């Protein structure tokens, strides 16, 4: 299992973004568009200078938009995952 550190999250990118359950259509002009994917794991949050934890803004299982070029990709047990900062997550698709 991958355990993200501090304010990082693990996301499984939504490959066939053409048409998805929540009606998102990604046309070719969408190259610059934010990407979409599912939250697989969430870090504990960033430690503030005060020593308290800054809570995370997303939860495991949520479908989210994130900045197109954000994060670093790893391959783990045959699957590709993105390791992102919480700040790179733009919105939750409900």
**Interacting residues toward its own copies by CB under 8 A:** 1-6, 8, 10, 22-27, 30, 32-34, 47-52, 54-55, 57-58, 65, 67-68, 72-78, 83, 87, 89-94
Q: Please, what is the minimum distance in Å from the beta carbon of residue 68 to its own copies?
A: 7
Whose tokens are 């938009």? That residue is: 65
Tell me the three state secondary structure of residue 18. coil
Nearer to its own copies, 60 or 74 (CB): 74
Q: Please, what is the minimum distance in Å from the beta carbon of residue 16 to its own copies?
A: 15
Q: What is the DSSP string of 22-76?
A: T--B--GGGGGSPEEEEEEEE---EEPTTS-EE--S--TT-EEEE-TT-SEEEEE
Q: Please, what is the minimum distance in Å from the beta carbon of residue 58 to its own copies?
A: 7
Nearer to its own copies, 34 or 38 (CB): 34
Tell me the three state secondary structure of residue 94. coil
């Amino acid at each position: 299992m991958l355990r993200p550190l501090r304010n990082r999250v693990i996301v499984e990118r939504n490959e066939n973004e053409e048409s998805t359950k929540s009606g998102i259509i990604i046309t070719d002009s969408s190259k610059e568009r934010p990407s979409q994917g599912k939250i697989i794991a969430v870090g504990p949050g960033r430690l503030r200078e005060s020593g308290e934890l800054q809570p995370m803004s997303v939860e495991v299982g949520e479908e989210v938009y994130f900045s197109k070029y954000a994060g670093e990709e790893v391959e783990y047990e045959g699957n590709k995952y993105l390791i992102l900062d919480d700040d790179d997550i733009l919105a939750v698709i409900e």
